[in-house]
Structures are given as structure tokens and as C-alpha cells.
Amino acid sequence: MIPISERKRKAAKRGLKYHPLNNIFEGCSGHHINIKHVIYIPLDDHLIPHNAKTGENMKAINEIAFKYIWDNIDDVRVPLPDLVNIMRKVK
Ligand SMILES: [Zn+2]
């Protein structure tokens, strides 16, 4: 599994921050719901081309990520009110 430090470094190269909202797991892929926050989702759910910086296709992929994190709420690593606030601000 790619270490978080490496994931952060790659994100920084793309001009993105890297704050994971849930726990990493084998076979996951880090999806940026915005330019700062990441939700780990199954790689198979992360196939729609999208761009967190331009907003391209973000609504569709974020819906998938939000459903995933909500269905796996025990793996959330931030306080739930914070998660709700972050999700509310995402388009
Ligand atoms: Zn993504």
C-alpha cells in the first residue's frame, strides 16, 4: 500500500492538499472531494474521469464517495459534525 506521505507528496505536486477523512484500506484509491479533503474509496468506484481543481465531473464522483463513506461510517477519522460540514460545502 502506498504510504500516506507519498500520497501527500504526489497531491502537492498537483497543487492539492491531502487530508484523509476515512481510514486507508487495501485496494482503495484516494479521491479528492475538493482541493483539500480525501475520501478513500474502492479503486473500482474511482474510474470516472474528474478534476477537483476545475470541478469537471465532481458531482457524480462525489456522490459515489459520499455514499461510500456514509455506508462505512465506522472508518471515518474526523468528528462526524466536521465531516457533515465538509460534505455540505462540497458542490
Ligand atoms: Zn478522485
Query: pLDDT tens for residues 11-54?
Result: 999 999 999 999 999 999 999 999 999 999 999 999 999 999 99
Q: Please count the residues of the chain.
A: 91
- Of the candidates 78, 5, 66, the one whose C-alpha atom is nearest the C-alpha of residue 39 is 66
Residue 81 has pLDDT above 90, yes or no: yes
What pLDDT was estimated at residue 50? 96
Distance in Å, CA 81 to ligand 1 centroid: 23
Task: Quote the ligand 1 centre to 79 CA distance (angstroms).
Answer: 22
| Count of Cβ atoms closer than 10 Å to residue 83 Cβ | 20
Q: Residue 8 has what pLDDT?
A: 96
Confidence of residue 91 (pLDDT cuts 50, 70, 90): low
> How far does residue 31's CA lie from ligand 1's centre (Å)?
3
CA-to-CA distance for 41 and 62, rounded, in angstroms?
Answer: 10
pTM beyond 0.85:
yes
Model confidence pLDDT, tens digit, residues 7-21 = 999 999 999 999 999
Q: For residue 5, is pLDDT > 90?
A: yes
Cell 484516494, residue? 30
